[in-house]
Structure 1
Amino acid sequence: MSDRRESLQQVVADLREYDCIDDAFLAKSFTDQLLILDVEQEAAIPESVLETLRANDLRGIESVYGEDSEAHSVVGDVGDVTRHHFVDVQTRGSHQSYVVDQ
């Protein structure tokens, strides 16, 4: 496991300790690494969580990909939670794509 991935796994573990966070995990989207937060519906992400994300070079997916949205990380509701995606801008574009050349 890379040092960066280990570092982000620790961030995930720390974020899971918040009462309003139902789950946190790492995922991959084409060439980017994502940190996914499942937050209780109607709950705001605490400022301390946002500070932790910023300090670890994680930015809301909408702001990274240039979408015009006030909710910079919200992807949508999944069951009883709202899913938020954050892009690891430190390694953005450096992950192997799932796309297979023919």
Structure 2
Amino acid sequence: MVDYGLSGKVALVTGVSRHMGIGAAIAHSLAASGANVFTTYYRSYDKLMPWGSNSHEAEEIIESLKLQGVKAAGVEVNLAESEMPKKLFDQIGELITMIT
């Protein structure tokens, strides 16, 4: 594997709610490169989509990231609400301490 210099860094990955989703694939790739991973997910959106929602899938993904030897955590947030991205980034320092 190529060393991208991510060991010990923190990556924020949004949309990590399904094992078969692109968010989970990106999170796993970053973890495989040594990055600690902080995820966001939004189950209410998934419930409306054809793939549906597994109420524990986001947590299962976070646990599978930890099994790769990195720290991982996540929070449920609706980033489509106009104030939420700002709130998330205002709190990002506090949230990152969850995994460092």
TM-score by length of 1: 0.31
Larger helix fraction of residues: 2
Hey, which of these two has a bigger chunk of strand by percent? 1
